[in-house]
Structure 1
Amino acid sequence: MAEDMSIESYLAQGGVLTNPTNVPPRYRAELLKLMATFVDSELAGAAGFADIINEGPGIKERIAAARIVLEKTDNADRVLRIMGEFGADTARYATHHPWTARLERDADIGATRTEHDMRLAVFNYPLQGWADAVVMNLLMGRAVVVQMAEFSMVSYQPLADAFRAIAPIEAHHAELAEEGLAKLLEDGDKTAIQASVDYWWPRVAASFGSAESKKFDTLKGWGLRHSSNAELRNRWTAEAGAVLERLDLKAG
């Protein structure tokens, strides 16, 4: 970075940062928020799915579910280690929040977070059995694929590297969910599965946030965002919708 160039100008021109010591305070706050949202969502998602493992219809399904729980927890740890470089208390983080806490099934909080942690709102809703968990994992899995493509380009290089490593793991989770749902549809209750799609679709869609984000221009200038919430949501709608169409299901 040229000596006469501000960090803000450097970032606006596509520059990257590599060390906590040269991160501006406001940038640092938004970067930590991004990381906390990912870590908390992964831990809450893994905790909720862990409770469903033994409802899997067979050994292979239970192994796949257990692997997803393990890998989501590992993904959280990968990003949490970067948070630790900014002073986060990584030693007590995993036990600091009630990751299994859920709202009532009929609650509707939109994109609002609860007081528990920084998890996306969708991870505050309870799963109802194996098929419902597979549907949620499919729709949210496709959302995470879209989000990972976005976050793999953040201007804090260590985090971008971590997200690039995480992206194919999360993509595989979505693929496993699609395979699992196809199998359930062979001899399962399509009406109940469609009901789960109808339930989870708007809740996953809400995880992309408001279409009009007041912070977007600032975050884009810092290289922490590239696509708007609406663009990301539209990408997910198209990709998730295509998956559902292959399975002869309708988007919610």
Structure 2
Amino acid sequence: MAEDMSIESYLAQGGVLTNPTNVPPRYRAELMKLMTTFVDSELAGAAGFADVINAGPGIKERIAAAKIVLEKTDNADRVLKIMGEFGVDGDRYASHHPWTARLGRDADIGASRTEHDMRLAVFNYPLEGWSDAVVMNLLMGRAVAVQMAEFSMVSYQPLAEAFRAVAPVEARHAELAAEGVTKLAESGDTAALQASVDYWWPRVAASFGAADSTKADSLKAMGLRKSTNAELKTRWEAETKSVLDGLGLKAA
């Protein structure tokens, strides 16, 4: 960075930061929010999926589910280590929140958070059995793919590198979910699968945040976003509808 250039100008022109020592306060706050949301969502998602491992119809499915739980926890740990460089106690953090806590199935909180932690709202809803969990994992897995493509380009280099490592792991989770949904559909379980799509679609859609958010410009200036919430959601809708069509299912 040129000595006569402010950090704000440097970031606005596509610059990157590499350690906590030169991170300005506002940037730090938004960066911590991004990392916390990811870590909390991964840990809450893993906790919820762990409860349905033994509901898998066969050994292969149970192994896949257990692997997803392990890898989501590992993904959280990867980013939590970066948070540790900002002073976060990773060991205390992992045991501090009730990751298994869920609201009622009929609750409707939109994109709002609860008092539990910073998990995306979708991870506050309970899974109901194997097919429901697989559908949720498919829809949310596609959403994560869109979000990872976005966040793999953030201006904080260590985090961008972590997200680039996480992206293919999360992509494989979505692939496993698609395989699971395909197998269930072939067994004639289409009605139950469609009911789960109808339930989870609006809740996953809400994870992209408000379409009219006013923070996009400031986040873009800091290099923490390149697309708006609406653009990311539209991308997810198009890609996921195509996947569902191939499975004989319809978006809600």
Q: TM-score range by the shorter chain?
A: over 0.9
Partner of 1:124: 124
Query: Does 2:74 match 1:59?
Result: no
SS of residue paired to 2:208: coil
CA distance in 2, matches of 1:241, 1:84: 38
Secondary structure of residue in 2 paired with 1:232: helix
| CA displacement, residues 13-32 of structure 1 (integer Å, 9 cap, x when unaligned) | 00000010000000000000
Counterpart residue identity of residue 185, structure 1: A
Could you tell me how far apart the structure 2 residues matched to 1:104 and 1:13 are? 46
**Cα offsets for 1:71-124 (capped at 9, x unmatched):** 000000000000000011111111100000000000000000000000000000
Deviation string 1:156-179 (CA, Å, 9 cap, x unpaired) is 000000000000000000000000
Deviations 1:204-236 (A, max 9, x none): 000000001111111000000000000000000
Between the aligned partners of 2:86 and 2:94, the Cα distance in structure 1 is 17
1:224 aligns with: 224
Q: Which residue of 1 aligns with 2:97?
A: 97
The residue correspondences of 1:84-163 to structure 2 (distance < 5 A) are 84-163=84-163
Separation in 1, partners of 2:130, 2:149 = 28
Q: Which whole-Å CA distance do the structure 2 matches of 1:127 and 1:19 have between them? A: 39
Paired position in structure 1 for 2:203: 203
Runs (4+) of structure 1 moved beyond 6 Å?
none
Q: For 1:47 and 1:218, how far apart are their aligned partners in 2? A: 34
Aligned to 1:172: 172
TM-score for both structures, normalised by structure 2: 0.99
Normalised by the size of structure 1, how large is the TM-score?
Answer: 0.99
Partners of 1:223 and 1:189 lie apart in 2 by 45
The alpha carbon displacement at 1:189 in A equals 2.0
Q: Please, what is the CA RMSD of the aligned residues? A: 0.5
In 2, Cα distance between the equivalents of 1:13 and 1:112? 32
Counterpart of 2:51, as a letter, is D
Equivalent residue of 1:207, what SS?
A: helix
Q: How far apart, CA to CA, are the structure 2 residues paired with 1:189 and 1:65?
A: 19
Q: Which amino acid aligns with 1:4?
A: D
Of all paired residues, the percent bearing the same amino acid is 82
Looking at structure 2, the residues matched to 81 and 189 of structure 1 have their Cα atoms a distance apart, in angstroms, of: 42
1:127-151 CA deviation, whole Å, 9 max, x = no partner? Answer: 0000000000000000000000000
Secondary structure, in 3 states, of the residue corresponding to 1:105? coil
C-alpha separation in 2, matches of 1:14 and 1:40: 28
Alignment gaps of 5+ in structure 1: none
Amino acid in the other structure paired with 2:94: A
Match of 2:241 in 1: 241
Whole-angstrom CA distance in 2 between matches of 1:18 and 1:190: 48
